[in-house]
Amino acid sequence: MKARLAANAAIVNYPNLESGLVEFQRGEALTAAEKVACSQFRLRDADKAEEALEEQRDSIVKEAFKRCKVAKRAAYEDVAFIPPTSNECERFFSSVKLVYTDLRKRMEPEKLEKVMCLLFNKKFWDVQVVDDVRRSNAN
C-alpha cells in the first residue's frame, strides 16, 4: 500500500510539483526542479520583495538598530487548498469499486464508464440535461 501512495508512485504524474507543494506547506526550502514545477503559484511581487529584503540584510548596522520586525511576505500563493491528484484518482477508483458490485458485473465497460463519468461530474448536470441529450441522440 505504501508503494502506491508514495510521492514517487507510478500514479503521480508530476512528482516535483507534489513534493514541492508539500515542502512549501511545511516551510522547507525547495529544490531547483520543485521551484520550476511550482512557478505558476509564485506571486508576481515576490521577486521585488526578495530584492528589497536582500538590500535590507546588507547592513549589519541597520539590522542592529531595527526597532520593529517586518513580517516576511509570502512568495507563493496559498496552496493549502490544492488536493493532490493521486487522492482524486484513489477516490474515483474506490467509487467505481462500490458501483461495480455483483449485481452490475454484466454491465458493458462503455456503459460503466458513462455511469462513472456522470457520477463523478454530477455537479455539472441534472435530470433535464440528461433528458435533452437523450432526446437529441434519438433523432
- Residue 110 counted as domain residue: yes
Of the chain, the percentage scoring pLDDT greater than 90 comes to 2
Query: Would the pTM count as exceeding 0.85?
Result: no
pLDDT value of residue 67 = 62
What is the total count of domains within the chain? 2
Name all contacts of 42-45 with Cβ < 8 Å and 24+ positions apart.
42/75, 42/76, 42/77, 43/74, 43/75, 43/76, 43/77, 45/73
pLDDT value of residue 47 = 56
Which of 5-19, 67-81, 95-109 shows the lowest per-residue confidence on average (mean pLDDT)? 67-81
Angle between helices 109-120 and 85-99 (to 10 degrees): 120
Give the whole-angstrom CA distance, residue 6 versus residue 2: 6
- Residue 55 counted as domain residue: yes
Q: Residues 77, 43: contact at Cβ < 8 Å?
A: yes
Domain of residue 63, residue span: 43-76
User: With bands split at pLDDT 50, 70 and 90, how would you rate the model's confidence at 138?
Assistant: confident
Indicate the burial class of 57 (C-beta count within 10 angstroms; 0-12, 13-18, 19 or more). exposed
pLDDT value of residue 14 = 82
User: With bands split at pLDDT 50, 70 and 90, how would you rate the model's confidence at 3?
Assistant: confident
User: For the residues 108-128, what does the mean pLDDT come to?
Assistant: 86
- Residue 7 counted as domain residue: no
- Residue 70 counted as domain residue: yes
